[in-house]
């Protein structure tokens, strides 16, 4: 595609229809759109656009897509947040059926690059004839991609066993990740399962094998061994967008939460949240809240459930008898949405117990809250190893190998180690490392360089110009 230095670099963004994927694409779009030499078009389903437009830079063009009908997929469901697991698999089939629509759209738009997700393994085959580069944008950490989503993980067509997945793939770098627990490896079997179409593994690896470049929201300072392993596995450019730190939250914390948190001393409150799509079983909810009660500090726990009906009743049924009365002066357990970034930034919050989702970890690392990690599924296990093992910037709750069970004593021990034992290990080292990574991730000059280098490499690959 002919171009001059004055032409804008036109990028199309095409994330999978899950807000855990859409949000990183939005964050990257916002950072890139600051550059006047870059034009961005953002593709998504109409039902997602109101939420997307409220977060996306006004300079970004939003283009609605039509989701083709698929038997069993109700019309109007356009985000995985509203879907059952079976409907999510049907949505992937609908995405595959979007190929003719995307061909027409790309022929009209003619972007230089389309950033796409793991679900679009067919995109390179339709983009290459149009002279459009395809960059798969991984919204996961490099460590999780290196451990699971590489050709070395599946050297034959046979689906791996739990014992296979407990061990790193052949050639995996020597780091703190040596073995996964049985329950963690069992959870990862999902990505190799066939639900009437390509598996998650086949989609992801197929996308990476056929794309022009792989983009990961990380940096060498944090994940160099895993980035280099991915590069060696695919033999193509791996571009790093940096950690893609979210913008500071706008507006103020809700008065109710601000007043409640404001009654406690600085750095004394434990905030616990598992996001909107990670759920604990009732027996583990009981151990969690009893562990927080046993630890002693005041706490705010946010828990959600797979469906939105009677969530308050379900929460009350899961809590131990007499618990609410015992902790009424220092503990709150809540179901629903909260302003997580605002709460993490509050002076009274000193510890964050979370599921190890990459966005939550990033928000915690840029705050003054110490991290206690209780991963529940997929990439969360490996994100946790990165933070607690390689970076030594958080503490993981001890769990049983077979089923991942944790008791109230395990949760209490982790919280106390980070909150109370100021001069004892491992808490002391973790706090020092957290401070180091917080300063690194808050450094505007560092992020400016990440972005500048990233844009320069894209323009070199696509336009044949430097900068």
CA 166-167-173 angle, 5° bins? 135
Instruction: Kindly compute the dihedral angle of the four CA atoms of residues 113, 242, 387, 289, in this order, to the nearest 10 degrees.
Output: -80
Q: Which position among 117, 187, 204, 379 bears the catalytic label? A: 117
Task: Give exposure, 344-380, as e/b (b: 16+ Cβ within 10 Å).
Answer: bbbebbbbbbbbbbbbbbbbbbbbbbbbbbbbbbbbb
- Strand stretches in 96-212, DSSP E: 113-116, 133-138
Q: Which position among 21, 120, 355, 447 bears the catalytic label? A: 21
Alpha-carbon distance of 190 to 289, in angstroms, equals 29
**Which stretch of DSSP H or E encloses residue 326?**
helix 323-327
DSSP letter (8 states) at residue 315? H
How far from the centroid of its chain's Cα atoms is residue 303's Cα? 18
Which long-range CB contacts under 8 A does 292-296 form with residues at least 24 apart? 292/331, 292/353, 292/411, 292/412, 292/415, 293/323, 293/326, 293/327, 293/331, 294/408, 294/409, 294/412, 295/270, 295/411, 295/412, 295/415, 295/416, 295/419, 296/416, 296/420
187 is a catalytic site residue: no
Tokens read off for 112 = 């230089």
117 is a catalytic site residue: yes
Tokens read off for 62 = 């939003």
Q: How far apart are the two ends of the chain, measured CA to CA in Å?
A: 17
The catalytic residues are 21, 117
């Amino acid at each position: 595609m002919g171009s001059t230095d004055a032409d804008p670099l036109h990028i199309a963004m095409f994330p999978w229809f899950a807000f855990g994927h859409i949000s990183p694409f939005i964050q990257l779009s916002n950072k890139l759109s600051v550059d006047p030499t870059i034009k961005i078009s953002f593709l998504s389903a109409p039902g997602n656009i109101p939420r997307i437009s409220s977060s996306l830079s006004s300079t970004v063009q939003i283009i609605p897509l039509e989701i083709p009908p698929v038997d069993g997929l109700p019309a109007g469901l356009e985000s995985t947040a509203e879907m059952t697991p079976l409907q999510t698999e049907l949505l992937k089939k609908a995405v595959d059926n979007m190929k003719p629509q995307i061909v027409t759209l790309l022929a009209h738009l003619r972007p230089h690059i389309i950033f796409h997700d793991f679900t679009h393994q067919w995109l390179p085959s339709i983009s290459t004839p149009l002279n459009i580069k395809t960059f798969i944008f991984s919204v996961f950490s490099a460590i999780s991609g290196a451990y699971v989503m590489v050709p070395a993980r599946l050297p034959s067509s046979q689906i791996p066993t739990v014992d296979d997945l407990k061990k790193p793939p052949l050639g995996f770098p020597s780091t703190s990740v040596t073995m996964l627990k049985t329950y963690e490896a069992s959870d990862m079997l999902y990505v190799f399962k066939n639900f009437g179409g390509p598996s998650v593994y086949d989609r992801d690896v197929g996308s990476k094998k056929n794309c022009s470049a792989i983009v990961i929201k990380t940096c060498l300072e944090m994940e160099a061994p895993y980035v280099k392993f991915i590069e060696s596995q695919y033999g193509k450019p791996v571009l790093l967008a940096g950690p893609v730190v979210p913008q500071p939250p706008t507006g103020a914390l809700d008065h109710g939460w601000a007043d409640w948190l404001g009654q406690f001393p600085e750095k004394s409150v434990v905030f616990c949240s598992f996001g909107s799509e990670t759920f604990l079983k009732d027996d583990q909810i009981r151990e969690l809240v009893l562990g927080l009660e046993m630890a002693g500090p005041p706490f705010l726990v946010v828990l959600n459930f797979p469906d939105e009906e009677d969530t308050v009743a379900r929460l009350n049924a899961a809590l131990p008898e007499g618990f609410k009365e015992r902790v009424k002066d220092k503990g709150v357990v809540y179901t629903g949405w909260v302003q997580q970034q605002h709460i993490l930034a509050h002076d009274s919050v000193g510890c964050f117990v979370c599921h190890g989702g990459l966005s939550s970890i990033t928000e915690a690392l840029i705050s003054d809250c110490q991290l206690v990690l209780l991963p529940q599924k997929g990439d969360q296990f490996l994100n946790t190893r990165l933070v607690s093992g390689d970076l030594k910037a958080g503490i993981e709750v001890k769990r049983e190998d077979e089923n991942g069970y944790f008791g109230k004593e395990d949760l209490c021990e982790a919280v106390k180690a980070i909150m109370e034992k100021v001069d004892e290990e491992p808490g002391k080292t973790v706090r020092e490392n957290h401070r180091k990574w917080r300063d690194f991730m808050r450094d505007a000059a560092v992020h400016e360089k990440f972005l500048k280098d990233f844009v320069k490499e894209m323009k070199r690959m696509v336009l044949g110009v430097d900068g």
